C-alpha cells in the first residue's frame, strides 16, 4: 500500500474525536460559503458546554451558523468578514464581530499572522492516486488558512466536485472525517421585471470577447439572460453560479478570447446547485485558485475587456457607492467588489459596473440619493467608480465632474425622485 494510504487510514476519526482537539481560546477558521464542512461544524457546536471563547472566523456562512445563535456566546465568538442572513442577527445583538477586509487580502491576514490560525475546518474531495485532494468549491482563503493552521481537520466528502487548480496533499492534514453528504446549495434567485430591465441595460455594455466577473444574486443572473447573442465571452470571477453553466453549454462562454488563462473558467469559490457542481467536476477547463490571485487587481487588470458586475444599496450624487450598510446597520460587506472595480480600471477597454434597482422598500426609497445615509460606509469610492446602471439606463461617471455626475445619476434615478434630487443637488450647490 502507498505510504499516504497508510497515513490516511491512521488519521481517520469520528467528527466528535476530531473536534476534541479544539481548545478554549483557539481561533478556528471555517472553509468558505457552500464549501463549509457541515459535520465538523455540527460536532464543534455540540461541544459548546466544554468550550469558552473559541473565535470562529468565517466569511459568507451559508449554513445555519449555529455557533452564532443566541446562547452560544460564552463558548463561541463569531468574527465575520461578511455579514449574511445567518449571522446578521448575532452581529446586531453584539454577539459577533465584523472585520472589514478586501477579499483579496484575507489570506495575507493569515500568512502574516495578523490573525494567527489555530485550527482550520475544511471540506475536500477523497484523495486521488497520488494522495492529493481537491478543495472543490472553496479555495479562496480556505487554502491559506490551511497552510497556516496549527491543526488541520478535514471532512472528506465524495459529493465534493474535483476542481482543477489548488489542491492539498493528505500529508498536510492532521485528522480526517469521512462523511458523504450533499453540499450546501444556493438556488437561483427570483428575477423580477426590474432586474430584467437592469440586466438588459448592463448587457448592452458587454462587448463580444469580454471577460466577466459576476457578483451574487438576481442582478448578475438577470444580466446572463441577455447575453445569449454575445460571442466568445470568458469568466474570471471570484465566484460563479448556475447561470454561467447555461451560457457555457450554449457556446456563448468559450473563454477563447481571454488574454490571461485563455480557455479556462477561473474562480476562487463556487455557489450554486448540483448542476453547477456536476459541471465543474473534473472539468479540465475549470480552475479554482486562491483569492489573493483571483481577486488581485493586478491580475484582474491583465484581462482586456474585463467587465465587473456588482450591486449596491445606495449611490450618492458624487458617485460614492455604499454596497454594505443600511444607515448604520452593517448589512453585508465589501467582498470582492473593490478588488474588481480597481482591477477592471486597469483593463484595456474594461468597464466596472455597479448595477442596482433605482428604489428600495417597495419604491418608497430612492437608492440614488444626494448623500449617503448617516452612518453608512463608502464601499467603492467616487475615485474608483465607473458605470452605475439602473432599470432606467447607464451612467458612465469616469472623467465626469461633480455637476455632470449628478446630472447623469439623476437621469437614471426613478422618475418619482428626480425633482427632489435636483432640488437637493441645488441646495448643496452641486447643480
Q: 45-48 contacts: CB < 8 A, separation 24 or more? A: 45/72, 45/76, 46/16, 47/19, 47/20, 47/22, 47/75, 48/72, 48/75, 48/76
What's the closest the beta carbon of residue 234 comes to ligand COA, in angstroms?
17
Query: Do 1 and 238 meet the contact criterion of CB atoms below 8 Å apart?
Result: no
Of 120 and 333, the one with the shorter C-beta distance to ligand COA is: 333
What's the closest the beta carbon of residue 343 comes to ligand COA, in angstroms?
12
Query: Do 188 and 167 meet the contact criterion of CB atoms below 8 Å apart?
Result: no
What's the closest the beta carbon of residue 253 comes to ligand COA, in angstroms?
18
Of 144 and 198, the one with the shorter C-beta distance to ligand COA is: 198
What's the closest the beta carbon of residue 220 comes to ligand COA, in angstroms?
8
To the query of whether residue 238 is one of the catalytic residues in this protein, the response is yes
What's the closest the beta carbon of residue 132 comes to ligand COA, in angstroms?
28
Which of 105, 195, 229, 238 is an active site residue? 238
Of 113 and 374, the one with the shorter C-beta distance to ligand COA is: 374
What's the closest the beta carbon of residue 239 comes to ligand COA, in angstroms?
6
CA distance 26 to 56: 9
What's the closest the beta carbon of residue 339 comes to ligand COA, in angstroms?
8
Of 143 and 311, the one with the shorter C-beta distance to ligand COA is: 311
Cell of 300: 484582474
Of 37 and 336, the one with the shorter C-beta distance to ligand COA is: 336
What's the closest the beta carbon of residue 93 comes to ligand COA, in angstroms?
19
Cell of 342: 480597481
Of 70 and 361, the one with the shorter C-beta distance to ligand COA is: 361
Which residue, among 292, 295, 283, 276, has the nearest Cα to 343 in the 3D structure? 295
CA distance 123 to 41: 11
Of 118 and 339, the one with the shorter C-beta distance to ligand COA is: 339
Cell of 77: 465568538
Binding site for ligand COA (CB under 6 A): 215-217, 238-239, 310-314, 323-324, 326, 331-332, 334-337, 360-361, 365, 367
CA distance 87 to 32: 14
Of 48 and 377, the one with the shorter C-beta distance to ligand COA is: 377
Give whole-number Cα distances, 135 to 40, 41, 122, 251, 378, in Å: 16, 17, 8, 27, 33
- As annotated, the active-site residues are 238
Amino acid at each position: 500500500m502507498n505510504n499516504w494510504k497508510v497515513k490516511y487510514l491512521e488519521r481517520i476519526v469520528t467528527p466528535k474525536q476530531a473536534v476534541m482537539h479544539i481548545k478554549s481560546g483557539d481561533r478556528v477558521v471555517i472553509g468558505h460559503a457552500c464549501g463549509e464542512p457541515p459535520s465538523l461544524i455540527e460536532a464543534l457546536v455540540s461541544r459548546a458546554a466544554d468550550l469558552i471563547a473559541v473565535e470562529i472566523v468565517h466569511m459568507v456562512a451559508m449554513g445555519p451558523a449555529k455557533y452564532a445563535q443566541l446562547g452560544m456566546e460564552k463558548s463561541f465568538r463569531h468574527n465575520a468578514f461578511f455579514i449574511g442572513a445567518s449571522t446578521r442577527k448575532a452581529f446586531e445583538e453584539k454577539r459577533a464581530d465584523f472585520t472589514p477586509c478586501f477579499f483579496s487580502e484575507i489570506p495575507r491576514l493569515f500568512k502574516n499572522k495578523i490573525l494567527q490560525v489555530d485550527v482550520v475546518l475544511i471540506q475536500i474531495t477523497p484523495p486521488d492516486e497520488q494522495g492529493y485532494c481537491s478543495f472543490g468549491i472553496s479555495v479562496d482563503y480556505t487554502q491559506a488558512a490551511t497552510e497556516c493552521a496549527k491543526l488541520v481537520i478535514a471532512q472528506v466528502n465524495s459529493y465534493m466536485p474535483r476542481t482543477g487548480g489548488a489542491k492539498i496533499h493528505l500529508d498536510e492534514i492532521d485528522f480526517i472525517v469521512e462523511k458523504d453528504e450533499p453540499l450546501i446549495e444556493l438556488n437561483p434567485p427570483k428575477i423580477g421585471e426590474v432586474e430584467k430591465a437592469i440586466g438588459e441595460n448592463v448587457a448592452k455594455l458587454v462587448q463580444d470577447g469580454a471577460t466577466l466577473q459576476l457578483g451574487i444574486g438576481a442582478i448578475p443572473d438577470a444580466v446572463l439572460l441577455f447575453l445569449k447573442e454575445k460571442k466568445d465571452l470568458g469568466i474570471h470571477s471570484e465566484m460563479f453560479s448556475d447561470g454561467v453553466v447555461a451560457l457555457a453549454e450554449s457556446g456563448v462562454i468559450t473563454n477563447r478570447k481571454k488574454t490571461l488563462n485563455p480557455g479556462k473558467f477561473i474562480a476562487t469559490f463556487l455557489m450554486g446547485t448540483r448542476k453547477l457542481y456536476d459541471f465543474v467536476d473534473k472539468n479540465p477547463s475549470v480552475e479554482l485558485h486562491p483569492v489573493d490571485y483571483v481577486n488581485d487587481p493586478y491580475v484582474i487588470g491583465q484581462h482586456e475587456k474585463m467587465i465587473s458586475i456588482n450591486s449596491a444599496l445606495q449611490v450618492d450624487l458624487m458617485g460614492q457607492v455604499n454596497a454594505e450598510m443600511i444607515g448604520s446597520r452593517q448589512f453585508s460587506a465589501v467582498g470582492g467588489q473593490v478588488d474588481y472595480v480597481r482591477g477592471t480600471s486597469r483593463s484595456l477597454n474594461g468597464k466596472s459596473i455597479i448595477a442596482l434597482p433605482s428604489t428600495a422598500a417597495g419604491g418608497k426609497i430612492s437608492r440614488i440619493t444626494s448623500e449617503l445615509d448617516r452612518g453608512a460606509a463608502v464601499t467603492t469610492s467616487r475615485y474608483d467608480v465607473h458605470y452605475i446602471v439602473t432599470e432606467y439606463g447607464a451612467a458612465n461617471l469616469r472623467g465626469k465632474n461633480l455637476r455632470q455626475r449628478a446630472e447623469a445619476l439623476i437621469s437614471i434615478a426613478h422618475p418619482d425622485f428626480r425633482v427632489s434630487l435636483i432640488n437637493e443637488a441645488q441646495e448643496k450647490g452641486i447643480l
